[in-house]
Structure 1
Amino acid sequence: MQTARKTAANPTILLLEDDLLLAMDMEEFLASRGYDVVGPFGRVEDALDALETTRVDGAVLDLNLHGELSFPVIERLRCRNVPMIVCSGYAELPELKQKLAGLPLMPKPWSPQKLGRLLSEVFEAAER
Structure 2
Amino acid sequence: MGTEGTVLGVVIAVVGVIGSVLVARVSAPRPAPAAGPPLEDDDRAAPALEVSPEIFSHFSNRIRSLEDKVDHLTTAFEAQTIRVTTLERLLRQAMRIIRAANKRLRGAGLEPEPVPRELIPYSID
Would you say same fold, with TM above 0.5?
no
**Where is the helix percentage greater, Structure 1 or Structure 2?**
2
Larger Rg: 2
TM class by smaller structure: under 0.3
TM-score by length of 2: 0.18
TM-score by length of 1: 0.18
Higher relative contact order (CA 8 A, sep 6+): 1
